[in-house]
């Protein structure tokens, strides 16, 4: 039985590979440890992770030295290789970060690459950390948000102003005429002001320049001749002039007054034109 065990161990030693050389290649995003063998390696590789190191056990690989090598890298800081009695080699990679290690054999089996790199955070971990992290906004983003709010408020104000102006323009109103001298309206009470709206009820054209208008202001309706001049003809309480027939009636009642007034205005205008077109003798020069 002992003979069979010795023969088995001897055959395993004869079939095992031996480590010839090792090289370390440092990169900004990884560290590669290249192992070269004297024969194709057929053994298995196992991995054990600790808090500050990762240990790879390479079976069926012989080596007679213990190696401790410092590495000037942010990924791996130290490499340790420890020979085992059962014809195995332990490769220990020490790091102060969470790293991932991948071992890959060459195609011909004469080499092994051990690559260490920073372990990437999982998507779930990233989402969880972002959900737990307190939300903070920079002053620039706050300023941009404030500007957007101000712009929206200004736009809403302008839209409301446009609708108000459109509604005001759509209402048919008559501006009261001012009397000379005092500068006050002959129609409106100073206590109520002149800013109230006047509702146009009826209108009848006398000639191309003059017309008769019936409009309502407050509780009183006014019959006015407008055009070259404004003349108040009559005032009515609500209910006295209800429809077109009532308007025609009061219009005919004031028709004679209107005709006389227009004739008087025409006569004054003709007299003024005649005086303006009269010939006057030239001024004589003074004798010295």
**Residue 229 — very low, low, confident or very high, per pLDDT cuts 50/70/90?**
confident
**Mean of per-residue pLDDT scores for the chain:** 75
Tokens of 192: 């109520």
CA dihedral 132, 133, 135, 136 (to 10 degrees): 170
The alpha-carbon radius of gyration of the chain (Å, integer) is 55
pLDDT of residue 14: 52
**Residue 101 — very low, low, confident or very high, per pLDDT cuts 50/70/90?**
very high
Q: Say how far apart CA 246 and CA 252 lie, in whole Å.
A: 10
- What predicted TM-score, i.e. pTM, was given to this entire model? 0.40
Evaluate if residue 79 carries a pLDDT over 90: yes
Evaluate if residue 49 carries a pLDDT over 70: yes
Evaluate if residue 113 carries a pLDDT over 80: yes
Q: Any bridge partners for residue 68, and if so which? A: 80
Helix axes 255-277, 244-253, angle to 10 degrees: 50
List the domain boundaries for the chain: 17-119, 199-274
Q: Does domain 17-119 sit in CATH 1.10.600.10? A: no
CB 63 within 8 A of CB 83: yes
Q: Where are the alpha helices (DSSP H) in the chain?
A: 2-15, 123-132, 139-170, 244-253, 255-277
Q: Which of 150, 14, 17, 23 is nearest to 88 (CA)?
A: 17
pLDDT of residue 6: 45
CB 188 within 8 A of CB 194: yes
Q: Say how far apart CA 95 and CA 76 lie, in whole Å.
A: 5
Give the largest Cα separation in the chain, rounded. Answer: 171
Mean pLDDT of all residues in 54-76: 91
N- to C-terminal Cα distance for the chain? 171
Q: Say how far apart CA 44 and CA 16 lie, in whole Å.
A: 11
Mean pLDDT of all residues in 148-177: 79
Q: Which of 102, 108, 116 is nearest to 45 (CA)?
A: 102
Mean pLDDT of all residues in 46-54: 91
Q: What's 216's DSSP letter?
A: E
Pairing of strands 31-37, 111-118: antiparallel
pLDDT of residue 80: 94
**Share of residues in the chain with pLDDT > 70 (%):** 67
Tokens of 154: 């200004």
Place of tokens 């003798």: 281
Evaluate if residue 239 carries a pLDDT over 50: yes
Query: DSSP string spanning 101-162?
Result: EEEEE-TTSSEEEEEEEEPPPPHHHHHHHHHHSPP---HHHHHHHHHHHHHHHHHHHHHHHH
pLDDT of residue 288: 45
pLDDT digits (tens, 9 = 90+) for 167-206: 887 654 445 444 444 444 445 554 544 455 778 878 878 7
């Amino acid at each position: 039985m002992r003979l069979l065990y010795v023969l088995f161990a001897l055959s395993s030693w004869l079939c095992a590979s031996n480590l010839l050389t090792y090289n370390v290649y440092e990169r900004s995003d990884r560290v590669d440890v290249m192992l070269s063998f004297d024969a194709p390696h057929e053994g298995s590789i196992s991995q054990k992770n600790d808090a500050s190191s990762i240990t790879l056990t390479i079976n069926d690989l012989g080596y007679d030295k213990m190696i401790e090598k410092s590495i000037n890298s942010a990924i791996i800081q130290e490499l340790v290789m420890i020979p085992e009695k059962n014809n195995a080699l332990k490769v220990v990679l020490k790091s102060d970060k969470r790293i991932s290690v991948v071992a890959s054999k060459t195609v011909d089996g004469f080499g092994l690459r051990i690559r260490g790199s920073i372990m990437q955070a999982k998507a779930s971990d990233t989402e969880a950390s972002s959900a737990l992290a307190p939300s903070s906004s920079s002053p620039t983003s706050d300023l941009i948000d404030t500007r957007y709010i101000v712009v929206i408020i200004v736009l809403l104000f302008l839209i409301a102003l446009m609708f108000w102006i459109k509604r005001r323009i759509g209402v048919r109103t008559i501006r009261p005429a001012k009397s000379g001298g005092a500068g006050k309206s002959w129609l409106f009470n100073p206590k109520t002001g002149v800013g109230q709206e006047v509702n146009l009820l009826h209108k009848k054209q006398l000639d191309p320049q003059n017309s008769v208008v019936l409009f309502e202001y407050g509780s009183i309706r006014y019959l006015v001749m407008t055009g070259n001049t404004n003349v108040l003809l009559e005032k009515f309480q609500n209910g006295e002039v209800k429809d077109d027939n009532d308007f025609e009636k009061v219009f005919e009642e004031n028709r004679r007054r209107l005709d006389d007034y227009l004739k008087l205005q025409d006569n004054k205008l003709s007299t003024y034109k005649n005086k303006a077109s009269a010939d006057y003798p030239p001024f004589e020069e003074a004798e010295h």
